Structure formats: structure tokens, C-alpha cells
Amino acid sequence: MISIALLILYLAFYILYNTSRKAIKNVVFGFETWTYKNNKKAKLLGITLLFASCILLGLSFGIGAGILHFCVTLMTLGSLVVILTPVKIIKPRSILILFLLVLYTEFFIL
């Protein structure tokens, strides 16, 4: 459940990043053009996904630790998105591989 919350958090920040006017417009995942055209709906979707991720982390770790984990992860993923998206290092395949690796670690090792 933690890895799913982290993926939701990444997608939420990425959607909100693409709604910014200052962001460099790159089409990586395919839904970026929708975020450019439907700015208000994309912001609402991004904020909803942020809250969903915070709730999932709160259910996983408890309220206090979940909110702290949410804030730290949001800062970490946010800086990675801001730094790596203009350089075009973030690809759907790398996100999928990383997600599956973390999901495997969460369910089978821990």
C-alpha cells in the first residue's frame, strides 16, 4: 500500500507540475496535453490525488508519522520531478520498473 501511495503522490505532483505556466512542456506519459488544455480539472485531479496519497500514508503509518512521511516524500519526489523532467530522464518505463521493484520489495521481502 505504501508503494501505491508513493506512485499516486508522484503522479499528483507531476500533474500539478504540468499545470504550471513556468514548467517546460514535455509529453512523456501522454496525458500532458490534457493537463495543458484542461488546467482547472487537472489541478483538481492533482490535489485530489495528493489528499488520497496522504490518507493512504496516514492509514499505513498512523496519522502523525503518515503526514510526516507524506511531507518528506512530497519534497523528495517534487525536487526529482523539477530537476529530472526538463532533462527528459523520467520515462514511463523507468517509473514502471521502479514501481514494480518497490512493490516486490514491499510484498515479498518485507
This model's pTM is above 0.95: no
Rounded to whole angstroms, how far apart are CA atoms 88 and 108?
32
Q: Where are the domains of the chain?
A: 2-21+30-109
What pLDDT digit, counting tens, does each position of 49-84 carry?
999 999 999 999 999 999 999 999 999 999 999 898
Sorted by sequence, the CB contacts under 8 Å of residue 6 that are 6+ apart come out as 53, 73, 77, 102
pLDDT given for residue 68 in this prediction: 97
Q: Which three cell numbers stand for residue 105?
A: 520489495
- Residue 24 contacts residue 91 (beta carbons within 8 Å): no
Which residue would you say has higher pLDDT here, 22 or 49? 49
